[in-house]
Structure 1
Amino acid sequence: MDFDPYGQFHPTGDQHWMRSRSEVLARTCPFSPSASNEDQIAADLFPAAEPHETIGRFIAAHVGYVATGGFRERGSSGGMVSWVLEELMRRGLIDGAAHVAPVAEPETDGRFFRYRISRSPDEIREGAKSRYYPVEMSEILREIRANPGRYAVVGVPCFIKAVQLLRRQDPLLRERIAFTLGLFCGHMKSARFVESFAMQMNVPIEEVQAVEFRKKDVTRPASTYTAELTLKDGSIQKRDWWNLVDGDWGSGFFQYEACNFCDDVIAETADISFGDAWVEPYTSDGRGTNVIVTRSPVVNDLIQAAIEDGRLCLEPVDEEFVVATQAAGFRQRREGLSYRLTWPKTGLKSVKRVRPAAPESRRRRLIYRTRALVSRWSHRIFWLTQRTGNPILFIRWSKSAMTFYHALAYSRGELGKLLDRWGLT
């Protein structure tokens, strides 16, 4: 796996070898029409979990945070992912945790984050917080194969689905990957996302030593994302996402094309899934709040025991609550995907759990069309910006695209507030 000119991971290597492995790849690629879908995988893995129409199978769902140990303070949200990993390790249920962590020397490494296997609580804590950055799993899968033990793997929905498909084909991985932890996902960004942030802060990307995408501030709403860049000289540059031209997540800047054909928002094939509670009063709580969905009886019992002990402050919620916290994501992956499946596609045969259909609303159709164009052209325009050394090219294009997109996506009152934030009024 290596970066392409747009900062996205793609497979590289001998084409004859890849063609010879096509049948195996077809069974294990999460986007392959030959692979089992999320409903089928979850039914096999979690027969005790009841199926639900929108969020798939689950035993229980909760909203809240970790009440002890500083997990909430260290995390982007309620601290639940790190807590579950440490609890699994503390109980002797895993020997290592495969998750994404920052690299020590990004300039030498060629990236800011990568998967690694942590084998102690201190190492797990280094992987806390959100990472909106491309990663790939080949190294940690090789390490798991080479080193006996029981492992937990953390990933976004398509990564967890890929792991489950691999476990079906590989008895060794089936034995050693004991738990999967899924992250609610809007889409994956290319490496150009952080490079764009640095450019807009007038910082050479070569001078950036560390990246924090969501700097927590308990005095501000959790929905106010602040990007913070730590430079090699120790100085810090930061800016709220809404003051960056590509800071509107829903517009799809630097999105992978595959994300347009994913119908899993909450990692339906994971033992437990985690997201942000994007509904009030939780959105306004700067301390951060998780919504979690459990499917494995073992993990569910672990959660329930900690609630009774007072270590977790969690309240039960239903399917409708979970859907409400990710409403925009479900629209994009249900109605939006259904519409995208009606578009002509070259070399792509998608088999999804929604049927091709166009929304009745012309406005909704325009929103999905515009979002797809922003996603596709942001890669190209930023590539051209880097080649010409002219940041104004990307900034002006982005502001024009966002003005049109926001006029479609928001009401007049909401649009006025956004334009004020962007300095366009």
Structure 2
Amino acid sequence: MTDIESLFTRKEFQSFDFGTGIWPIVNNNIEIKLNDDGVYENILKKEIHNFSSEELINLQETSCVFSNKNESEVAEKLFSKFPNIKHNKRIGYYLNLFAGHVIEGDFRKNASSGGFGTWIFKELFEKDYIDAVIHVKEDPTKEKLFKYDISYNLEEIQAGSKTKYYPVEMSEVLNVVKDKPGRYAVIGVPSFITELRLLCEKEPVFKERINFFIGLVCGHQKSAYFSDFLAWQCGIEPNQLEHIDYRKKNANLPATSYDIEVSGMVDGAIKTITKNTRDLYGYDWGQGFFKVRASDYTDDVMNETADLTLGDAWLQDYANDSLGNNILIVRNPLIGALIKEASLDKRIKVDIIGEDKVISSQSGHFKHTQDELNYRLAKLEKKGTFVPRKRWGQKKQPNFVRKRVQDLRELISVNSAIYFKKAIEKNDYKYFIKRMNSLVFMYNVLYLDQRIKRKLRKVKRYIKI
């Protein structure tokens, strides 16, 4: 058995796979399905020992977890040649760093944040750089809440605006791209963008047709149970949810506090319910409810292989603006030119910001994803399991409290899937809350301890002064 074959026969293999839908494109002996944990899983149509060495190598080389190429190497090949390009070890390559929002049209109003996710495609369409956009929209078949789809005009693109915290995969749309010539742009979270870049190196047809890669900052990916649980708390039972808006803006609240809106069948009629996320159990992103396990084994915070990365401007200067703002990391000169032109025309408002502001906007994300990754990798090594090679896995270990935070996040992630399935069997979402409460309590105690210690340190510094 080869080393690569051994890797794919490991029972914990799926824990490291993002289920992007790239592998079914690379090999038609693989299909992808939403499993009973609410995440996409690659299914082999034949035994692994029947795959040739070439097939196994192709699979390895198109995975952001298993590939011998990391994001830095992919990004260097893509962007290092551009004049005036800069590099930061956390941000990656960049030409410009901005924070701001779209002024023209309803792009900002209809977006989760500053409106750039849809606006940039409008610009690319109007300037005749693309024919279609690959992005996530509601599933018209209603088999799932959302799926990757292709839009061929601005109206279709706008129908897919806003953030979706729901599992998706790309095999269906990539088969369309393969069969239908055209100039495509795509938007996705880091794992999807990186694996698409790797696919483009293996299959030239995708490199020729996908011309722009727009990246989103993503704290972690969620299973389908996350949406079901939020809706259940609002009164809509699992399998009755038909629509969810995860980021409904509230003019009376700052950008960091928003509502969700859910629609579904209640007592035989469609009902729409809105609640603030602060009133919902399990919405705290740091706790990691229903987290896709592979999210803990990436170190790409800022979507480093994307032409343009968009994130929320979680910064003091922008936090009180209920309409929301984006941070923008520009790596492609053409996109940079479009943004500068629109800024001069006052169709958008962007401020030039520094590396420190970009990093600060996602400080908690960097801490978990990069600074404390080494502890999670060390735990894998101790178990004797596969340990992915990561760029940020060699730094010193975090302190005792932060190790316990990592342990609890893992327990919350794993147990939320287990207990939610039992809650569905019992038809009682409060059962789930009762079983998870002890973990949440311990997690909150750790954070309270950290806050008290920080305040004591500030008092001591003040007394010394």
For the aligned pair, the TM-score class normalised by the smaller chain equals over 0.9
Tell me the C-alpha RMSD between the 2 structures.
Answer: 1.8
Which residue among 144, 151, 169 is the counterpart of 2:177? 144
**What amino acid does structure 1 have at the position aligned with 2:305?**
T
Structure-1 residue corresponding to 2:246: 213
| Alignment partner, residue 349 of structure 1 | 387
**Structure 2 counterpart SS, 1:249:** coil
State the one-letter code of the partner of 1:176: R
Q: 1:306 aligns with which of 323, 336, 342?
A: 342
Contact 1:342 1:357 in 2 (8 A): no
Residue in 2 aligned with 1:46? 79
| Deviates most, 15-24 or 252-261 | 15-24
Query: One-letter code of the match for 2:191?
Result: C
- Counterparts of 1:289 and 1:53, CA distance in 2: 24
- Kept in 2, the 8 Å contact 1:251–1:374? The answer is yes
Equivalent pairs, count: 411
Q: Deviations over 1:78-103 (max 9, x none)?
A: 00010001111111101000000112
Aligned with 2:214 (options 181, 189, 199): 181
User: What secondary structure, in the 3-state scheme, does the structure 2 residue paired with 1:123 have?
Assistant: helix
Counterpart of 1:81 in structure 2 is 117
Structure 2 CA distance for partners of 1:4 and 1:86, relative to 1, 3 Å: same
Alignment of 1:19 onto 2:51: yes
Structure 2: segments with no counterpart, 5+ residues: 1-31, 454-465
- 1:360 and 1:328, CA in 2 relative to 1: closer, same or farther beyond 3 A? closer
SS at 2:251 equivalent: coil
Q: 1:250 corresponds to which residue?
A: 286
CA 1:222 to 1:23, structure 2 compared with 1: closer, same or farther past 3 Å? same
Query: Structure 2 counterpart of 1:340, which letter?
Result: R
CA contact (8 A) 2:134 2:151 kept: yes
Q: Secondary structure at the match of 2:410?
A: helix
Match of 2:148 in 1: 115
Post-superposition offset of 1:358: 5.2
Indicate if the aligned counterparts of 1:342 and 1:356 stay in contact, CA closer than 8 A.
no
Any conservation in 1 of the 2:118–2:161 contact (CA below 8 Å)? yes
Match of 1:168, SS?
helix
Q: 1:414 to 1:105 in 2, by over 3 A?
A: farther
After TM superposition, the structure 1 = structure 2 runs for residues 165-244 of structure 1, keeping only pairs within 5 Å, are 165-232=198-265, 233-244=269-280
- Taking a change above 3 Å as real, the CA distance of residues 414 and 250 of structure 1, as seen in their structure-2 partners, is farther
Shift of 1:236: 1.1
Please tell me whether the aligned partners of residues 375 and 398 of structure 2 are also in contact (alpha carbons under 8 angstroms). Answer: no
Instruction: Map residues 275-294 of structure 1 onto 2, 5 A cutoff.
Output: 275-294=311-330
1:399 correspondence with 2:437:
yes
- 3-state DSSP of counterpart to 2:222: coil
Distance in 2 of aligned mates of 1:40 and 1:350: 16
- 1:103 is aligned to 139
What one-letter code is carried by the residue in structure 2 that aligns with 1:83? W
The answer on whether the counterparts of 1:339 and 1:356 sit within 8 Å (CA) in structure 2 is no
- Deviation of 1:376 (Å): 1.2
Q: Is the 8 A contact 1:276 1:289 kept in 2?
A: yes
Q: TM-score, normalised by structure 2?
A: 0.85
The 3-state SS of whatever aligns with 1:239 is strand
Looking at structure 2, the residues matched to 3 and 362 of structure 1 have their Cα atoms a distance apart, in angstroms, of 37
Whole-Å Cα distance in 1 between the matches of residues 452 and 221 of structure 2? Answer: 26
Distance 2:448 2:212 in 1: 40
**Is the 8 Å Cα contact of residues 92 and 302 (structure 2) preserved in structure 1?**
no
Q: SS state of the match for residue 109, structure 2?
A: helix
Provide the residue aligned with 1:369 in structure 2.
Answer: 407
1:326 maps to which residue? 362
1:31 paired residue number: 65
Question: Offset of 1:302 from its aligned partner?
Answer: 1.1
In the alignment, the residues of structure 2 paired with residue 263 and residue 335 of structure 1 have an alpha-carbon distance, to the nearest angstrom, of: 9
Structure 1 residue 399: Cα displacement:
2.7
8 Å Cα contact 2:228-2:241 kept in structure 1: no
| C-alpha distance in structure 1 between counterparts of 2:386 and 2:340, whole Å | 43
Give unpaired runs (5+ residues) of structure 1. Answer: 416-425
1:9 paired residue among 18, 40, 43 = 40
CA distance in 2 between counterparts of 1:99 and 1:352 reads 28
**Larger Rg computed on CA atoms:** 2
Q: CA deviation at 1:228?
A: 1.0
SS in 2 for 1:77: coil
In structure 2, how many angstroms separate the alpha carbons of the residues matched to 1:387 and 1:243? 25
Contact 2:91 2:359 in 1 (8 A): yes
**Counterpart amino acid of 1:175?**
E
Q: In 2, Cα distance between the equivalents of 1:355 and 1:99?
A: 32
Instruction: Supply the AA of the counterpart residue of 1:220.
Output: L
For the 8 Å contact 1:245–1:399, the answer to whether it is kept is: no
Residue 111 of structure 2 is aligned to residue 72 of structure 1: no
Pairing 1:295–2:328 present: no
Q: Name the structure 1 match of 2:10.
A: none
Q: Per the alignment, do residues 400 and 313 of structure 1 end up closer, same or farther by CA in structure 2, a change over 3 Å counting?
A: same
CA shift, 1:392, in A, is: 2.2
Asked if structure 2 preserves the Cα contact closer than 8 Å seen for 1:339 and 1:357, the reply is no
SS in 1 for 2:187: strand
Report deviation, 1:357. Answer: 4.8
Cα distance in 1 for residues equivalent to 2:327 and 2:202? 32
In the aligned structure 2, how far is the partner of 1:5 from the partner of 1:339?
Answer: 29
TM-score, normalised by the number of residues in structure 1: 0.93
The residue matched to 2:88 in structure 1 has which SS?
Answer: coil
Deviation at 1:238, TM superposition (A): 2.2
Determine what percentage of the aligned residue pairs are the same residue. 32
TM superposition shift of 1:292: 0.6
Q: Which moved more, 1:229-238 or 1:263-272?
A: 229-238
1:55 aligns with 2:55: no
Find the residue that maps to 1:342 and give its secondary structure. Answer: helix
Asked whether the equivalents of residues 86 and 94 of structure 2 are also in contact (C-alpha less than 8 Å), the reply is yes
Give the whole-Å Cα distance in 2 for the aligned partners of 1:373 and 1:152. Answer: 38
4+ runs of 1 displaced by more than 4 Å? 411-415
1:177-226 superposed Cα distances (whole Å, 9 cap, x missing partner): 00000000100000000111122222123332211111111221111132
